[in-house]
Amino acid sequence: MKIKQLADGPYDPNKTETNILEYWLENSFYKPETAQEILGKQGIKNPNKFTIINPPPNAYAKPHMGNVSGYAYQDVFGRRARMLGKKVLMFPGKDHAAQQAEIVYIRDVLAPQGKSKDDFTRDEFYAEAYSYFNKIMKIAQDDEKRIGLSSDFDRDLFTLDPRVAATVYNTFSKMWSDSIVYKGVRIVNWSPGLNSAVADIDTERKEIDSHMYYIKYALPESAKGVHENIKKISTDLTSSYTAKVVQKNKIKNTYLAKVNNNYIYFYSTSTFKENDEINLINIGWSVFLKGSVCAVAVTEENKITGTISEIKNSEIFKAIFNSVNVYDKNIVSNQIPNGSAFLILEDEFTQELNEDDKNLQNKYAKGFIIGTVRPETVFGDTAIAVNPNDERFLDMIEQKIKLNSAYGEIELLVIADPGVDKEFGTGLLKLTPAHSATDYEIYLRYNNSNETRPINYKNVIGKDSKLNHLCGKYEGMHAEDDRDNIANSMEDEGFVVFKEKAKSNIVICERTKTIIQPIMSSQWFIDTDKLKLPALDAVEKEDVKIYPEYMTKKLGVWLKNLRDWPISRSIWWGYRIPVWYKGEITENTDANGNIVLSIGGQEIKNLPEAVEKGLAKLSLPSEFNPILIPGRFAPENANFYAEIKKKYPWAEQIYTGEIDQTFADYEKAFAKTNFENRVVVAHSLGAPAIIDYILDKKIKIKSLILIAPSNPDSANFNSDKDRGFWKNIERISDIANFCENVTVIYSDNDEHFSVQNFKDFIQKLGEGVVSVEELNKAHFATRKYSYHSEELANLLAKYESVYKAEKESLEKDGWVQDNDVFDTWFSSGQWPIATLTAEGLMDYYPTDVMETGYDILELWISRMLMLGLYLTGEVPFKNVYLHGLIKGEDGQKMSKSKGNLVYTEDIISEYGADALRMMYIVGNKAGAGYKVDRQKLKGYRNFLNKIWNVSRFTLSNLGGSSESDLEKIKIKVAEIKIRISPEEIKLEELQTVAKIKITELLEGKDINLIMQSSVATLLKNVDEHFTNFRIGMAAEEIYMHFWHVFADIYIEQIKSKIFLTDREGNPIQRTEGETQERIDTLATLLVIFQKYLQLLHPFIPFLTEEIWQHIPSELKDSETIMYSQLATYRE
RNA sequence: GGGCAGUUAGCUCAAUUGGUAGAGCAAUUCGUUUACACCGAAUAGGUUACAGGUUCGAGUCCUGUACUGCCCACCA
């Protein structure tokens, strides 16, 4: 037995890490197939599976520290599982990041070449982008390997791989037939920067300074009638009064009219003398008219002091008084606070208006004043909404009111909706369903409960952000840039009564930072109602556990509030929506502001109608996609399907559990599959199952190929005929009505067992005319047992050519494919299924851990959960571990613009991958952010050196022993059991005790037993930490224990027992007992040392493997530490 | 406006769910003793943001306050 010695320190990670990486890759240690083989040799015959799908990073950029941090966690889980005897699959991939990648590609690749998207056809653009990203992806993979991620890189999968495409399109197809996906005209977030719709979650809010415009909706003819109302005002000017109002809200007043530096409000209750000098102080606002009494008050900071007359004669007073009033009768504000002061007006406050001055008439006309920060949307108003409990407007609800507005005379319905805040602005909400998500919701709510009298939307802003033909003279003006012009013009006409500065939240596009324009447009949506409930249920029932736990609640709330998910994006980079139209599909705004869809010039109401008329259809890319149904004990008994799937990546394999003869499992699996017009291959018991299913559900399929498990002339047939395929196949005679052709393959003979044969067979059998044996003799005498794979291949090839021919004719026949592509989250939301399906590994589903940053909990985790449950009925992962976001050295979020990006390769070359992994993991907890910390990195580099030197100590002391001693050590090693012995001193508790004292305490005790006990405790604690996903604590505890118990205490204590020479180099004489003690100690040292290496391996794989390689094979259970078995602690 | 998280040593963060507040780095002192100076031995550093409460016992649970960060949201 020879013990290789380690080089002198300090440890240099750069020398060893790349070699170790090469060793792992060369030996394919990362593959589950290798795991199966190695574990098998170790006596673990049926290892449990353990699966982690690596979140695919975006393919377009060089990864920085933040991108890579997740791999450290994923790898810890994976490596530990491997060392616990599991067959580990870690599946890497890269994401095409549709929208973002297209922007980056155009900006960073095309623009510097002086090119733009317009220089390419769609296909050219796609091809060039694909080859570019293909190159870039390699960089990301290098980083993944370099940090030690032990994923099966041979399987690295791109989200635009044809095999993924198959899953993505099949999912869409299933959603199409389940009516979960629809194309609808609906409000969308239109990003002018992307020239595409984006989902809510791709937007962010920003507070900006803007104006609140108070817009007049005048009652026609009311300008003339102004006197009448005023005349009714009664006065009781008996005493002077200083207005003083109990105030509640300090923010709302800033929204109010500010005129001549004073805020002006209306109030009532009290009286003033005409010439009283008064101070009006108030902070509330209320239009108040009872018996035509009106009053005004001002804020405390801006008292109006003056006589009543002076106040009344102020311009603003007149404006407000005349404008913000009433539609009808007596309207009472219900929120006059106690102690309010009121100014009562008299009928002298009237004014003869010049009949010709229309603008003034508008300004002083009675009507509504409604506050808005977006005056340009008034052209899209289709209703006025009030709170149902707002007493001021009770009479008006459900009335249609003719109004003069900035765009002429219109009729608006007043509706009630609880969403309207009666205290905001004037308590009235102008409803613009086409250009406000809020209004759109109210619009939907109203129309859902008032089907007989629906309100409309009116789209007045185009995708170019400009006002359209419905805006009269404002047509062509820009909704954002020309806002002030529009408002000024309205002000001149008297329709903007006053304006004031206000803060407003605008929605901007997260990617391009342009202002989102809510507009009506036809987009593809996923109806999330049917998807979110199972997801919500899974979260609540803890079918999927989320770490940190508090994020569970966050996800639940998000799911509950989820609206329909827009999945179409108007870009080229991604999966093109597989729906075809008979001619161009166009979207126009008609005279009423409705969005009208036409296909090839023919107007359609909605897509189902178009489909019915033959103007639209779903047509998946022309990849042949047969459905493969396994026989009993699926899917293992259908291994031959793997061959088919190699040739046809689009083939869709049905996964079932063990099948009983009631076919319950089949039915469950079938329900998730769309059989419509497909070629179906069914093996053995799958054949009767699918026949029954097709007949029951009345599904039309294209072709059915049945593979019989036995041949009627086989020796087994007599027993087979009463069960399985043969017993259950009776209904085959009816199937001809549901598919174009049926073929049964069971022999080497080219003759097929046709439907007609079967019909005859079954009929005669049923009539008792023939026996099975007779038929067997007549028809099957020459057939052999095994099924004919070549024949199956030929058949499929034939169907494929038919299938492709059909598809290719689409464009010739004038069909045009939808121009949009899927949202990137639509495809990545199916990632666990797409990856495993692509490799035929669905038996690894559901996966064990999904590890990712908490920032994409809603974006990604939720989608995977919904789609996973939808497609398979099972959660895609059992645990979700969310790591915190890593910040730059300055403590700020890392971003290119801040210039604080730290690249992984720089850190690794300075400190090594192991130290970096430690920095990511030790002492950190799920969900909590942390900084790139060079002090920590230095500390962990020192730790690695410590391990190196402890290893040198251990190996050199073993190496110094004689061959016979080594043999004795080997025997002793096998006897050592790491157990907790409760009576002994606990070493881990002595860390803070002075070292001299420890030596005293240990006098006469068996240090080896005490150490074993201490390590056992460590093992147990680490188990617990892992069970609860506290990996940061696990790492920290191992670190502490290794350094301060093992190195500082144990090794110091045993030195005298194992050294062969004294300080002067003279040999030490030992008694027989002392020699035995030395052997025992070295054996214990070795066992414990290995245990530490194993415990440390998931965290610092490179160093531990390097050291492991120096331990002689005779003294270890596995050549690589990756597969050495670290049993969990058992009492 | 709502929700969630956080506030602990000079700095960065832990504390296994209520049981003596810890680590790394930094600081001070000592020590080059056959693994290690990328080391060892020792020292100092805390009213756990604040104010109450429950408890034998609170960093941890409850109530409130003040900051910080994140997410969500229909105040037009």
Q: How many residues does this entry show for chain A?
A: 1131
- Nucleotide closest to A1064 measured between CA and C1': B34
Would you state the pLDDT for residue A52?
96
Residue A468 in this model has a pLDDT that exceeds 80? yes
- Nucleotide closest to A945 measured between CA and C1': B38
Using a pLDDT cut of 90, give the percent of chain A over it.
23
Q: How far is the CA of A104 from the C1' of B65 (A)?
A: 48
Q: How far is the CA of A1042 from the C1' of B59 (A)?
A: 28
Residue that the structure tokens 């559901």 belong to: A846
CB atoms within 10 A of CB A519: 22
CA angle A497, A499, A501 (to 5 degrees): 170
Give the confidence band of A266 by pLDDT, cuts at 50, 70, 90. Answer: very low
Task: Tell me how far the alpha carbon of residue A363 is from its chain's centroid.
Answer: 51
The answer to whether A539 and A559 have CB atoms below 8 angstroms apart is yes
- Nucleotide closest to A422 measured between CA and C1': B75
| Residue A251 structure tokens | 């923010």
- Nucleotide closest to A374 measured between CA and C1': B76
DSSP state of A515: B
For the segment A19-28, the average pLDDT, to the nearest whole number, is: 96
DSSP state of A577: P
**Nucleotides on chain B within 7 angstroms of protein Cβ:** 1, 3-5, 11-17, 22-25, 33-43, 70-76
- Nucleotide closest to A954 measured between CA and C1': B35
Q: Tell me phi and psi for residue A458, to 5 degrees.
A: -140, 110
Give the confidence band of A849 by pLDDT, cuts at 50, 70, 90. Answer: very high
A533: Cβ contacts below 8 Å, ≥ 6 apart: none
For the segment A633-639, the average pLDDT, to the nearest whole number, is: 51
A291: Cβ contacts below 8 Å, ≥ 6 apart: A232, A233, A234, A330
- Return d(Cα A375, Cα A406) in angstroms, integer: 10
Would you state the pLDDT for residue A426?
63
Give the model confidence (pLDDT) of A815-835 as tens digits.
999 999 999 899 999 999 999
- Nucleotide closest to A997 measured between CA and C1': B41
Task: Give the residue with minimal CA–C1' separation from B33.
Answer: A1063
Which string of DSSP letters, residue by residue, matches A272-303? --TT-EEEE--S-----BSSS----B--STT-
Task: Give the residue with minimal CA–C1' separation from B11.
Answer: A935
User: Which residues are A405's β-sheet partners?
Assistant: A408
- Return d(Cα A866, Cα A182) in angstroms, integer: 17
Q: How far is the CA of A101 from the C1' of B14 (A)?
A: 39
Give the model confidence (pLDDT) of A122-173 as tens digits.
989 999 999 898 888 888 888 899 999 999 999 999 999 888 998 999 899 8
Kind of pairing between the strands at A579-582 and A815-817: antiparallel
pTM: 0.78
- Return d(Cα A503, Cα A206) in angstroms, integer: 10
Task: Give the residue with minimal CA–C1' separation from B13.
Answer: A923
- Pairwise pLDDT comparison (A269 vs A370), residue with the higher score: A370
DSSP state of A467: B
User: Which residues are A598's β-sheet partners?
Assistant: A586, A603
Q: How far is the CA of A928 from the C1' of B6 (A)?
A: 10
- Return d(Cα A422, Cα A621) in angstroms, integer: 53
Give the model confidence (pLDDT) of A1086-1108 as tens digits.
999 999 999 999 999 999 999 99
Give the model confidence (pLDDT) of A863-907 as tens digits.
999 999 999 889 999 999 998 888 877 777 777 767 778 888 888
Question: What torsion, rounded to 10 degrees, do the Cα atoms A1058, A1060, A1066, A1072 define?
Answer: 90
The answer to whether A40 and A78 have CB atoms below 8 angstroms apart is no
Q: How far is the CA of A558 from the C1' of B9 (A)?
A: 40
Task: Give the residue with minimal CA–C1' separation from B72.
Answer: A558
Q: How far is the CA of A933 from the C1' of B12 (A)?
A: 8
Q: How far is the CA of A992 from the C1' of B22 (A)?
A: 11
Task: Give the residue with minimal CA–C1' separation from B39.
Answer: A946
**Measured CA distances, A810 to A165, A570, A650 (Å):** 20, 22, 20
Q: How far is the CA of A1029 from the C1' of B62 (A)?
A: 28
- Return d(Cα A115, Cα A1006) in angstroms, integer: 78
Residue spans of beta strands (DSSP E) within A20-110: 49-53, 87-91, 93-94
A876: Cβ contacts below 8 Å, ≥ 6 apart: A832, A833, A845, A846, A847, A850, A864, A865, A867, A868, A869
Would you state the pLDDT for residue A841?
85
Would you state the pLDDT for residue A974?
87
Using a pLDDT cut of 70, give the percent of chain A over it.
77
The answer to whether A442 and A258 have CB atoms below 8 angstroms apart is no
| Residue A642 structure tokens | 């793997």
Give the confidence band of A291 by pLDDT, cuts at 50, 70, 90. Answer: very low
Would you state the pLDDT for residue A272?
34
The answer to whether A185 and A843 have CB atoms below 8 angstroms apart is no
- Pairwise pLDDT comparison (A811 vs A352), residue with the higher score: A811
Q: How far is the CA of A632 from the C1' of B14 (A)?
A: 53
Task: Give the residue with minimal CA–C1' separation from B26.
Answer: A935
Would you state the pLDDT for residue A292?
28
Would you state the pLDDT for residue A781?
34
- Nucleotide closest to A887 measured between CA and C1': B12
Would you state the pLDDT for residue A720?
56
Would you state the pLDDT for residue A750?
33
Long-range contacts of A462-468 (CB under 8 A, 24+ apart): A462/A519, A462/A589, A463/A190, A463/A192, A463/A195, A463/A517, A463/A519, A463/A521, A464/A192, A465/A192, A465/A517, A467/A376, A467/A379, A468/A589
Would you state the pLDDT for residue A774?
57
- Pairwise pLDDT comparison (A354 vs A983), residue with the higher score: A983
Closest CA to A294 of A234, A251, A247, A207: A234
Give the model confidence (pLDDT) of A484-515 as tens digits.
888 888 888 877 766 666 677 788 887 778 88
Q: How far is the CA of A204 from the C1' of B14 (A)?
A: 34
Q: How far is the CA of A885 from the C1' of B45 (A)?
A: 31
**Measured CA distances, A950 to A420, A954, A1092 (Å):** 71, 6, 11
Closest CA to A198 of A432, A523, A459, A421: A523
Number of Cα atoms under 13 Å in the Cβ half of residue A910 = 12
- Return d(Cα A707, Cα A744) in angstroms, integer: 6
A421: Cβ contacts below 8 Å, ≥ 6 apart: A387, A427
The answer to whether A490 and A375 have CB atoms below 8 angstroms apart is yes
- Nucleotide closest to A210 measured between CA and C1': B76
A585 by DSSP, 3-state: which?
strand
| Residue A2 structure tokens | 């020879």
Residue A364 in this model has a pLDDT that exceeds 50? yes
Q: How far is the CA of A20 from the C1' of B39 (A)?
A: 27
- Nucleotide closest to A373 measured between CA and C1': B76
- Pairwise pLDDT comparison (A375 vs A1104), residue with the higher score: A1104
